[in-house]
Amino acid sequence: MPTPSMEDYIEKIYSLIENKGYARVSDIAEELLVHPSSVTKMVQKLDKDEYLVYEKYRGLILTPKGKTIGKRLLERHALLESFLGIIGVEETRIYEDVEGIEHHLSWNSIDRIGDVVQFFEENPDALAKLQGMQHVTRYPEE
pLDDT per residue of the chain (142 residues) written in tens, 0 to 9: 889 999 999 999 999 999 999 999 999 999 999 999 999 999 999 999 999 999 877 789 999 999 999 999 999 999 999 999 999 999 999 999 999 999 999 999 999 999 999 999 999 999 999 988 877 666 666 5
Q: Is 96 annotated as a binding residue?
A: no
CATH number for the domain including 32?
Answer: 1.10.10.10
104 in a labelled binding site: no
In a domain, 125, yes or no: yes
Asked whether residue 11 is marked as a ligand-binding residue, the answer is yes
Same domain for 59 and 83: no
Annotation-wise, does 135 bind a ligand?
A: no
Is 80 inside a domain boundary? yes
Number of domains in the chain: 2
**CATH number reported for the structural domain that contains residue 96 in this entry:** 1.10.60.10
Euclidean distance between the first and the last CA atom of the chain, given in angstroms as a whole number:
32
Query: Is the sign of the CA dihedral 29, 32, 38, 42 positive or negative?
Result: negative
Question: Which residue range(s) make up the domain with 115?
Answer: 73-133
Check whether 99 is labelled as a binding-site residue. Answer: yes
